[in-house]
Structure 1
Amino acid sequence: MYLKVGVIGYSGDINIPKIKRIENTTIELGRMLAQKEHHILNGGRDGVMELVSKGAKEFNGKVTGVLPWDQEGNEYLDFEIKTGLDFSMRSFILLKSVDVVISLGGEVGTGIEILGAYAYSKPLILLKGSGGWTDRIINNLIEDKYIDNRKLVEAHIANSVEEIENILEKME
């Protein structure tokens, strides 16, 4: 059974150090998701979104970009949803459309997406050591798995793409 997997994280030029540092892992994640025939949804632009899409395309994976405003998506997308909405609002469309969210690094937009996924009770997989808001959230989890005391949904911590794969297999 395939899952609709949202992948969130850093945006920006793929050559800036914080993105370059996780480039191989992000591409590997895209490859794994495609090999498992999961459908990837992301913000459709640059950074983590571009790299995971690139990895997925190496194995003919299906990738949908949920874009802000009227922006064009990266070259690896199969489908573009041009929401006409700002960055934060388009993220909520993405979150409502997925079964699970995987987070790598990220700035404030990713932080908003992590909290939104939790509020929508979407399972989260946080890649430890990827930086940004992903690691900030990991460092503040309650009982190492909840974002707040309501315990709406578990946030899983993964140390590698292989661990992400194992977590996803339990969700299928």
Structure 2
Amino acid sequence: MVKKRQILVIGNNDNGCTPESEKLAYDVGSEVAKSNSVLITGGLGGVMRAACRGAQESGGTTVGIIPQDDSSHANEFCDIVIPSGMGLTRDFLNALSADGVIVIGGGSGTLSEICAAYMYKKPIVALKNSGGIASKYADGYLDHRKNVKIVGVETPQQAIKYILEQINT
């Protein structure tokens, strides 16, 4: 049996998540499902909830790795909930569980996940038009090491296409 691809979608929680970011996240989640990949998120609200909803409504599987130790904190669109009990350090678990990462908006928590993925040279793509951390770091590197370029794209379809190309090489 071949392992399914696992794509992490990160971005703003409820606080700071715009309707535009929710729509992008929903569409990204749907594209993840259509690619026969597993969607991984932080399992909470905002971008995470919208991506899970999009994936689930398109027949995909969703995994939420939440910072709490009680699965009741996860959004209702998580098929599988992993209550890490690790607080914010769960960002590393999220990044290491992923074959690739898609960034939609985001703040400091999103940046933490990007840093973890960057250090482990995971492919990262950012939706340039989603604001926040995604717009700030799209088409650049986090530091002088240039571990992996954070590729900026315009659409959810371009994001999935890029991530799948990187995973399948």
Give the TM-score normalised by structure 2.
0.89
> Deviation of residue 154 (structure 1)?
2.4
| Identical residues among aligned pairs (%) | 31
> Deviation of residue 166 (structure 1)?
2.2
Q: What's the counterpart of residue 118 of structure 1? A: 118
> Deviation of residue 47 (structure 1)?
0.3
Q: What's the counterpart of residue 158 of structure 1? A: 153
Give the TM-score normalised by structure 1.
0.88
Alignment of structure 1 residues 70-89 onto 2, 5 Å: 70-71=69-70, 72-86=73-87, 88-89=88-89
Residue 40 of structure 1 aligns to a residue whose secondary structure is strand
Q: What's the counterpart of residue 35 of structure 1? A: 34
2:5 is aligned with 1:10: no
Residue 122 of structure 1 aligns to a residue whose secondary structure is coil
CA distance in 1, matches of 2:141, 2:78: 32
> Deviation of residue 26 (structure 1)?
1.3
> Which structure is higher in helix share?
2
Count of residue pairs brought into register by the alignment:
163
Q: What's the counterpart of residue 142 of structure 2? A: 147
CA distance in 1, matches of 2:54, 2:105: 18
CA distance in 2, matches of 1:112, 1:81: 19
Q: 1:78-108: per-residue Cα shift (whole Å, max 9, x none)? A: 101001111x201111111111111000111
CA distance in 2, matches of 1:114, 1:45: 17
Letter in 2 for 1:78: D
CA distance in 1, matches of 2:49, 2:91: 16
Unaligned residue ranges in structure 1 (runs of 5+): 139-143
Q: 1:129-153: per-residue Cα shift (whole Å, max 9, x none)? A: 1111111222xxxxx4422221212
CA distance in 2, matches of 1:70, 1:23: 26
Q: 1:23-58: per-residue Cα shift (whole Å, max 9, x none)? A: 222111111110111111110010000000000011
CA distance in 2, matches of 1:133, 1:57: 26
Contact 2:121 2:147 (8 Å CA) reproduced: yes
Query: Over aligned residues, Cα RMSD in angstroms?
Result: 1.6
Residue 84 of structure 1 aligns to a residue whose secondary structure is coil
List 4+ stretches of structure 1 deviating above 3 A.
none
Q: What's the counterpart of residue 100 of structure 1? A: 100
CA distance in 2, matches of 1:73, 1:62: 15
Q: What's the counterpart of residue 22 of structure 1? A: 21
